């Protein structure tokens, strides 16, 4: 049984016209002799009648607070509505279909409401329906705990659902549908010269997602990598090939001459709403021992970490600003904050240690009078913290400098 999992986001099922396109994508797979399993997100965005945000706002007009259990129960409704509408759309085109909740699809999670982890998937129900020649439509983002409570999987949950079901069903491929032709060399909303990348390895796309590219959630990439499962990012509006994601690095990054930097960089990603934190410390002061514990207890994630004898420097998301102020004031730390920052990251397979890459990046930004406030790197990335006012200029100059304006077609 050759199974193809197809995931469609909320904007892809928000109107009748778009639901027809989704149905046709599933029917194409069915007509080719394969077995489509369709994963859908909640309809639309805030303000749309059945979006998750709208449902939450509606309930808050009655009573402003939720228990985490009841919030998950409410948040699961949007996907349930989408699944039923999609199943009926497919039926209207002459193909049999069935809508399943996460529970009916066999997704068993822990009881960490709002960010539940999948512990087991029982595919028996899905397989039975596929054998009955039905197109199976499943709610993304949700499962059920061992205690029988509805749970949600957190940010990017529908991507996670698609990957975890693809793994459990031993699917040939998981297709992630979006409104662009695939994974791009930069955000096409900001960089008109951005190009589709034909192929990526797991590590490249994981770092892109982690550093701000909003195409696929990092957790879904992790799941695909551990099961060596192919992902495809495709456009809901056309039949282009999209981007293939597997365990094979693109040609540009398995070059024989590591000093040849053309196409060395695969893509550029960015994140806004970043705050730089600088704490002046006395290394012998015992209150230093409490800092990281307090941040962990308050669920503050820190990034771009540079610790010295006299200073601790790191970044946080803007949404954690109140918490960081509270923690640092509690222990009377001497600190300063720099807001209105963006993190710009260049991604390329195993660029760490390749001579001249950081120098080239720094030189390019310096030519544009863009100050680097902080930097960090990994095996696949080099990140720079800059003032957000310079973001567009930085993206454009780096995109051009690393030859990403030309089509990213890789040879073998």
Q: Which residues line the annotated binding site for ATP?
A: 7-10, 178-179, 189, 214-215
Q: What is the pLDDT of residue 249?
A: 61
Confidence of residue 407 (pLDDT cuts 50, 70, 90): low
On the CB side of 11, how many CA atoms lie within 13 Å of its CA? 9
Cα 408 to Cα 402: distance, rounded to the nearest angstrom:
11
Q: What is the CATH number of domain 3-178?
A: 3.40.1160.10
Pick the CATH number of 267-401 from 3.90.1150.170, 3.40.190.10, 3.30.2130.10, 3.40.1350.10: 3.30.2130.10
Least confident of 103-112, 129-138, 337-346, 398-407: 398-407
Cα 93 to Cα 8: distance, rounded to the nearest angstrom:
19
Q: Which residues line the annotated binding site for substrate?
A: 52, 79
DSSP state of 273: E
Cα 55 to Cα 45: distance, rounded to the nearest angstrom:
11
Q: What is the CA radius of gyration of the chain?
A: 23
pLDDT value at 283 more than 90: no
Q: What is the pLDDT of residue 252?
A: 45
Instruction: Report the DSSP pairing between strands 303-307 and 311-317.
Output: antiparallel
pLDDT value at 185 more than 50: yes
Q: Do domains 3-178 and 267-401 have the same CATH topology?
A: no
Cα 348 to Cα 211: distance, rounded to the nearest angstrom:
13
Token pair recorded at residue 86 = 């999609």
Average pLDDT over residues 189-199: 93
Single pTM value for the model: 0.86
Confidence of residue 364 (pLDDT cuts 50, 70, 90): very high
CA quadruple 346, 349, 350, 356: dihedral, nearest 10: -40
Beta strands in 61-218 (DSSP E): 97-100, 107-109, 118-121, 135-139, 142-145, 150-152, 173-178, 199-201
Confidence of residue 264 (pLDDT cuts 50, 70, 90): confident
Cα 187 to Cα 189: distance, rounded to the nearest angstrom:
5
Q: DSSP 3-state assignment of 327? A: helix
Least confident of 4-8, 82-86, 280-284, 373-377: 280-284
Domain segments of the chain as ranges? 3-178, 267-401
Cα 233 to Cα 209: distance, rounded to the nearest angstrom:
13
Token pair recorded at residue 228 = 């060596």
Q: What is the pLDDT of residue 324?
A: 94
Q: pLDDT tens digits for 223-256?
A: 999 999 999 999 999 988 999 999 876 544 433 3
Average of per-residue pLDDT values in the chain: 90
Q: Which residues line the annotated binding site?
A: 7-10, 52, 79, 178-179, 189, 214-215
On the 0-12 / 13-18 / 19+ scale of CB atoms within 10 A, 348 is: buried
Chain centre distance of CA 309: 36
Q: What is the pLDDT of residue 255?
A: 36
Token pair recorded at residue 231 = 């992902």
């Amino acid at each position: 049984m050759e199974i193809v999992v197809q995931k469609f986001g909320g904007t892809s099922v928000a109107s009748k016209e778009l639901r027809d396109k989704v149905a046709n994508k599933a029917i194409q797979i069915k007509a080719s002799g394969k077995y489509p399993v369709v994963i859908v997100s909640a309809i639309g965005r805030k303000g749309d009648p059945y979006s998750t945000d709208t449902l939450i706002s509606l309930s808050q007009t009655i009573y402003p607070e939720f228990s985490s259990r009841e919030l998950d129960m409410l948040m699961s409704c949007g996907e349930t509505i989408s699944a039923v509408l999609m199943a009926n759309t497919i039926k209207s085109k002459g193909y049999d279909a069935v809508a399943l909740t996460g529970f009916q699809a066999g997704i068993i999670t822990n009881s960490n409401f709002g960010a539940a982890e999948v512990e087991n998937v029982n595919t028996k129900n899905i397989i039975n329906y596929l054998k009955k020649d039905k197109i199976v439509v499943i709610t993304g983002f949700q499962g059920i705990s061992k205690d029988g409570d509805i749970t949600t999987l957190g940010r990017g949950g529908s991507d996670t659902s698609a990957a975890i079901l693809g793994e459990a069903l031993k699917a040939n491929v998981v297709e992630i549908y979006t409104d662009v032709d695939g994974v791009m060399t930069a955000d096409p909303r900001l960089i008109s010269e951005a190009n589709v990348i034909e192929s990526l390895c797991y590590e490249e796309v994981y770092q892109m997602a982690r550093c701000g590219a909003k195409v696929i959630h990092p957790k879904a990439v992790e799941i695909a990598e551990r099961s060596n499962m192919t992902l495809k990012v495709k456009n809901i509006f056309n039949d282009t090939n999209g981007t293939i994601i597997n365990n094979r690095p693109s040609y540009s990054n398995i070059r024989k001459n590591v000093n040849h930097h053309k196409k060395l960089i695969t893509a550029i990603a960015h994140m806004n709403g970043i705050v730089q934190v600088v704490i002046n410390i006395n290394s012998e002061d015992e209150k230093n021992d409490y800092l990281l514990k307090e941040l962990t207890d308050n669920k503050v994630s820190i990034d771009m970490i540079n610790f010295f004898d006299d200073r601790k420097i790191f970044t946080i998301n803007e949404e954690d600003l109140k918490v960081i102020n509270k923690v640092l004031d509690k222990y009377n730390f001497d600190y300063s904050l720099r807001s209105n920052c963006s993190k710009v990251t260049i991604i390329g397979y195993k660029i760490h240690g390749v001579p001249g890459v950081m120098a080239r990046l720094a030189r390019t930004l310096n030519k544009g009078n863009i100050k680097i406030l902080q930097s960090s790197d990994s095996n696949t990335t080099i990140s720079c913290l800059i003032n957000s006012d310079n973001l567009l200029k930085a993206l454009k100059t780096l995109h051009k400098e690393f030859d990403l304006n030309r089509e990213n077609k890789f040879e073998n």
